[in-house]
């Protein structure tokens, strides 16, 4: 069997944890499997490097950021390889470039174009465990080091697993798997044994930090099953895989809350073609990621338009809105970052009418006011006041009997 494992920064944060991970890898190797291990930078390494940069310049060139930050994973792979070797197993560490991870040239957020698996296969043929630096690759054009940006190490692991046609891709993290909701908010939250790619993608997009959406997307594309589990115990985690409709027992699989949300509302915008385009084109030009967009029912040939973005983008978004206000004929605008987005996700929703009604009822019973609502086939999200978020999550978790 060929297994790809990925260990996050908290799993290799110090020598003691590196030893624990090494022991786990060697134990699996002793069963005769080929193993490629993808690792992130140790705990705080990346933050420490970034704080050095801040003493040098406010606007580091992206290419040099990649040159700098890629050292974090390189340190991890060398130390983990040493710990494996200490246990008597042959092992080779490989940087992203050495592992053949070829990317485009967009420094700090490169995308993987291709993986040249020759070196990896050579190492396997020599009986070596391979430890690969996550988050990094080499750009095809210039031979420069690139980094993959957020979720990069998860993505490296899934891409490697796909390229090597691995039998399994295990994502080790600091939690036991994917939960019905955040156990810090709802202690009765329970771990899901299986979740479909689509549901995982919604959860990941909604901010469930356990897996990055990019990695889930790649897993969907290559039909690569992922096992999300803890590096601190041997409990089985959550299997992310294709799930047949027949198997879907629950209409709702999980409840997610995202506090990194800000809301902007424009009053009495002119109701004519091109107004929405004007607003959202201007926001896109400023690289502001807009999440929910709501246009209210028309009254007097005027609309209210509301949208959400991340709290970090709020300031820039307000500048755009302020500049456009006259052009689009708005009476004014309002904004708030004291809001949160609470969502329920479940592939079973499609075949269960009334899920939305049940959700709104549960929130109504708690006296929670909904500011915005948006839905997808397998998700319903509500924007509500920040202070109501925890109460909302608890109520929904209970209402949908997820415990």
List interacting residues with its own copies (CB under 8 A): 14-16, 18-19, 49, 52-53, 55-57, 59-61, 63-65, 67-68, 70-71, 74-75, 77-79, 81-83, 85-86, 92-93, 95, 98, 119, 143-145
Cβ proximity to its own copies: between 105 and 336 the closer is: 105
List helix spans (H) across 268-349: 275-285, 314-324
CA 174 – CA 233 distance, rounded (Å):
10
Beta carbons of 199 and 345 less than 8 angstroms apart: yes
Shortest distance, position 131 Cβ to its own copies, whole Å: 9
Taking the CB of residue 186, how many other CB atoms lie within 10 A of it?
A: 22
Which tokens in the block code for residue 215? 């990695």
Cβ proximity to its own copies: between 41 and 240 the closer is: 41
Taking the CB of residue 101, how many other CB atoms lie within 10 A of it?
A: 32
Q: What share of the chain is helix, strand, coil (3-state, %, to 5)?
A: 40, 30, 35
Of the candidates 311, 215, 246, the residue with the CA atom closest to the CA atom of residue 8:
215
Shortest distance, position 31 Cβ to its own copies, whole Å: 24
Shortest distance, position 16 Cβ to its own copies, whole Å: 8
Cβ proximity to its own copies: between 133 and 389 the closer is: 133
Shortest distance, position 61 Cβ to its own copies, whole Å: 5
Shortest distance, position 375 Cβ to its own copies, whole Å: 45
Beta carbons of 344 and 328 less than 8 angstroms apart: no
Cβ proximity to its own copies: between 53 and 276 the closer is: 53
Which tokens in the block code for residue 38? 């993808």
Of the candidates 136, 141, 161, 1, the residue with the CA atom closest to the CA atom of residue 72:
136
Cβ proximity to its own copies: between 14 and 30 the closer is: 14
What H or E segment, with its residue span, contains residue 384?
A: strand 379-385
Coil vs helix vs strand at 65: helix
Cβ proximity to its own copies: between 72 and 265 the closer is: 72
Give backbone dihedrals phi and psi of 14, rounded to 5 degrees, phi first.
-150, 170
CA 44 – CA 231 distance, rounded (Å):
18
Of the candidates 122, 112, 82, 95, the residue with the CA atom closest to the CA atom of residue 38:
95
Shortest distance, position 270 Cβ to its own copies, whole Å: 45
Cβ proximity to its own copies: between 75 and 294 the closer is: 75
Distance between start and end Cα atoms, the chain: 35
Shortest distance, position 126 Cβ to its own copies, whole Å: 11
Shortest distance, position 274 Cβ to its own copies, whole Å: 40
What H or E segment, with its residue span, contains residue 151?
A: none
Cβ proximity to its own copies: between 81 and 282 the closer is: 81
């Amino acid at each position: 069997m060929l297994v790809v494992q990925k260990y996050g920064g908290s799993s290799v944060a110090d020598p003691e944890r590196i030893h624990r991970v090494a022991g786990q890898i060697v134990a699996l190797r002793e069963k005769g499997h080929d193993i490629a291990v993808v690792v992130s930078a140790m705990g705080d390494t990346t933050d420490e490097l970034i704080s050095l940069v801040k003493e040098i310049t406010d606007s580091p060139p992206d290419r040099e950021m990649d040159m700098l930050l890629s050292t974090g994973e390189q340190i991890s792979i060398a130390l983990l390889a040493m710990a494996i070797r200490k246990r008597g197993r042959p092992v080779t560490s490989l940087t992203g470039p050495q592992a053949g991870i070829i990317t485009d040239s967009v420094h700090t957020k490169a995308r993987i174009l291709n993986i040249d698996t020759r070196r990896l296969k050579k190492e396997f043929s020599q009986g070596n465990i391979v430890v690969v630096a996550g988050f990094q690759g080499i750009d095809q054009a210039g031979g420069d080091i690139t980094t993959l940006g957020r979720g990069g190490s998860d993505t490296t692991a899934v891409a490697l697993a796909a390229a090597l046609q691995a039998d399994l891709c295990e994502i080790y993290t600091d939690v036991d798997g994917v939960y019905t909701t955040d156990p810090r908010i709802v202690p009765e939250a329970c771990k899901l044994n299986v979740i479909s790619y689509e549901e995982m993608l919604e959860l990941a997009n909604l901010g469930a930090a356990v897996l990055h959406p990019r990695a889930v997307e790649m897993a969907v594309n290559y039909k690569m099953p992922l096992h999300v589990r803890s590096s601190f115990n041997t409990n089985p985690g959550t299997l992310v895989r294709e799930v047949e409709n027949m198997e879907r027992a629950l209409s709702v699989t999980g409840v997610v809350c995202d506090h990194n949300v800000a809301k902007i509302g424009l009053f009495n915008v002119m109701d004519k073609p091109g107004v929405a385009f004007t607003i959202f084109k201007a926001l896109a030009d400023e690289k502001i990621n807009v999440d929910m967009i709501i246009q209210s029912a028309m009254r007097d040939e005027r609309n209210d338009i509301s949208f959400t973005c991340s709290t970090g983008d709020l300031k820039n978004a307000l500048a755009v809105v302020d500049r456009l206000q006259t052009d689009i004929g708005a009476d004014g605008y309002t904004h708030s970052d004291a809001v949160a987005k609470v969502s329920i996700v479940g592939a079973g929703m499609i075949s269960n009418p009334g899920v939305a009604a049940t959700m709104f009822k549960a929130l109504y019973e708690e006296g929670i006011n909904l500011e915005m609502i948006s839905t997808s086939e397998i998700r319903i999200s509500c924007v509500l006041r920040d202070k109501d978020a925890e109460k909302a999550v608890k109520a929904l978790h209970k209402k949908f009997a997820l415990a």
